[in-house]
Structure 1
Amino acid sequence: MKKTQSIVSKRRDEILDILKSNNEIKNEELAELLRTSPLTIRRDLQALEESGFVKRHYGGAVLVNSFDDSNVNQLDISMKHEKQKKAIAKYAASLIEDGDTIFINSATTSLLILEYLGDKRVVVVTNNGKSLNSIIGPNVDLVLTGGQVYGRKQSMVGDFATHILSKITASKCFLGVSGIAADSGISTSVLQETLINKEMINHCNGPVYILADNSKIGKHHNFCSGDINDISHLITDSDISLKDSSDFENNGVHVSKVNYIK
């Protein structure tokens, strides 16, 4: 599993390097250059698009921004956030044990957990339709909530999804968020997903982990998904400030600071 993840990560880095030189390229050309299948290239480009690096079009892809001085920095920031998210997800996966039933919401960071579960025997319950395209271990039972599919995020929302969640009790809950603040709890920019997050929190009889890189810390978006008292742990990167970390700890939230490759 670890070797497979390394190969995938290396290939996606190579795609970005190629696009830096060419700005635009066809799927078939990438497949030939990297000696892999067009299907694999499409999956890679989809992942890179979700991370904000590229924009796909019929038969190929382009970089989201051309590389002048102003937006090279923006790409560097995006790549930094991607490294932070992967490190956070990998650490979160290490907390999952054989026999666990876990909730994972529609956030990109929480979805990355699936790639680090290895051979663990785990039941994963999620409203994330993109989980079907994730690399998962042979012993992972993936359960989708069903429901109305919301936009390009492919998250499943609505009464059907919340009804399914109400019938399940998880041993651990892993939620990605748009923002988290010690004085206001967790929030999202998508109204329809607030009830999903709350339902997952309410039907978890173990720790509730919030996965958020430091760019989400201290932020409050439009819709509240849970109070700070609903959260037991925050997993973030090592760039979180001492003040923010202390504020969370003082509110009963244990903070795990994850190092990442800079």
Structure 2
Amino acid sequence: MLPAERKRKIRDTVTERDGCSVSELAEMLDVSKATIRRDLRDLEDEGLVERSHGGALPVRTVASEQSYSQRGVQNLEAKRAIASRASREVHDDQVVFFDSGTTTMEVAKQAPDDVGFIAATNSPMLALEFADNGRDVKLTGGTLRQQTRALVGPTGESFLERTNFDQVFLGTNAVDPDAGLTTPNEAEARMKQLMCEKAQRVVLVADETKFGRKSFVQFADVETVDLVITDAELDGEMLEAFEAASVDVVDGVGK
């Protein structure tokens, strides 16, 4: 296969799947990972894909957002593997906040039934998941964002300002060594910022597509995180940033 044809297939696959890893592309095209990385660099230089940690994403503006249902079917195996590991962090007598999101939803689904903890969330979807399993849950209240099914605004912010949590399972749209944790929406950024401020421990749960990316609004520095759980195999500047900030890293989950 000629390089031009291979790059076209890479671009088309990344677009159709809304993201793809280097490993997947190398296996699909029967070439080395080094070849795929070179092709991705070329495609990024041409503005045809956006490289992420361990793979590539379609080119989007920093303000773009996918719907909850779109995100819910992407990288589902990775999210479930992350959730399986994250659920081990839940202990008796804790108050645990679950950020709105599809990865945190998987954590909620795998939360241990035999552990007595209080759950809180800004996600009606997560609240229903807990309720269906017979667990009491505190809901922040606020205005529902249709795009992400997250509650935001003054009511939710007020709830967070007057409460405290042992830990928060936090999601993000993007993580970068310099830009920190970022998200496209200002109202959601404020809610996430408060979650971090009011939790004794911040557990970031994020799949590999989130690393090495920047979005519109920063809500936390890398130093804010206490533990990161991901399927990504972190290296380079990203891993160095976490290590410099004394963040515990559990990476390569499910691989």
TM-score, length basis structure 1: 0.66
Q: Number of residues paired by the alignment?
A: 188
RMSD, aligned α-carbons: 2.3
User: Are 2:175 and 1:177 equivalent residues in the alignment?
Assistant: no
Counterpart pick for 2:226 among 205, 213, 232 = 232
Distance 2:111 2:197 in 1: 24
User: Are 2:95 and 1:114 equivalent residues in the alignment?
Assistant: no
Q: Structure 2 vs 1, CA of residues 163 and 259 (structure 1 numbering), >3 Å: closer, same or farther?
A: same
Q: Structure 2 vs 1, CA of residues 243 and 136 (structure 1 numbering), >3 Å: closer, same or farther?
A: farther
User: Could you say what secondary structure the match of 2:168 adopts?
Assistant: strand
Using the TM superposition, give the Cα deviation of residue 159 of structure 1 relative to its aligned residue in structure 2, in angstroms: 0.5
User: Could you say what secondary structure the match of 2:118 adopts?
Assistant: strand
Distance 1:195 1:85 in 2: 24
Counterpart pick for 1:167 among 148, 157, 162 = 162
Asked if structure 2 preserves the Cα contact closer than 8 Å seen for 1:237 and 1:258, the reply is yes
Asked if structure 2 preserves the Cα contact closer than 8 Å seen for 1:180 and 1:220, the reply is yes
Counterpart pick for 2:118 among 106, 123, 127 = 123
Q: Which segments of 5 or more consecutive residues in structure 1 lack a partner in the other structure?
A: 1-47, 54-77
Distance 2:230 2:238 in 1: 11
Counterpart pick for 1:223 among 214, 217, 227 = 217
Opposite residue 146 of structure 1, the aligned amino acid is G
Using the TM superposition, give the Cα deviation of residue 258 of structure 1 relative to its aligned residue in structure 2, in angstroms: 4.3
For 1:124-143, what aligned pairs fall within 5 Å after superposition? 124-134=119-129, 138=133, 140-143=135-138
Distance 2:249 2:127 in 1: 30
Using the TM superposition, give the Cα deviation of residue 192 of structure 1 relative to its aligned residue in structure 2, in angstroms: 1.2
For 1:13-28, what aligned pairs fall within 5 Å after superposition? none
Counterpart pick for 2:194 among 199, 211, 214 = 199
User: Could you say what secondary structure the match of 2:90 adopts?
Assistant: coil
Opposite residue 128 of structure 1, the aligned amino acid is S
Using the TM superposition, give the Cα deviation of residue 50 of structure 1 relative to its aligned residue in structure 2, in angstroms: 4.2
Using the TM superposition, give the Cα deviation of residue 251 of structure 1 relative to its aligned residue in structure 2, in angstroms: 2.6
User: Are 2:222 and 1:249 equivalent residues in the alignment?
Assistant: no
Cα distance per residue 1:54-97 (max 9 Å; x no partner):
xxxxxxxxxxxxxxxxxxxxxxxx4xx21111111121111110
User: Could you say what secondary structure the match of 1:219 adopts?
Assistant: coil
Cα distance per residue 1:134-184 (max 9 Å; x no partner):
266856321110011111322110000010111111001111000112222
Opposite residue 126 of structure 1, the aligned amino acid is T
Report sequence identity in percent: 23
Opposite residue 180 of structure 1, the aligned amino acid is V
Asked if structure 2 preserves the Cα contact closer than 8 Å seen for 1:103 and 1:126, the reply is yes
User: Are 2:205 and 1:211 equivalent residues in the alignment?
Assistant: yes
Distance 2:93 2:134 in 1: 10
Q: Which segments of 5 or more consecutive residues in structure 2 lack a partner in the other structure?
A: 1-67
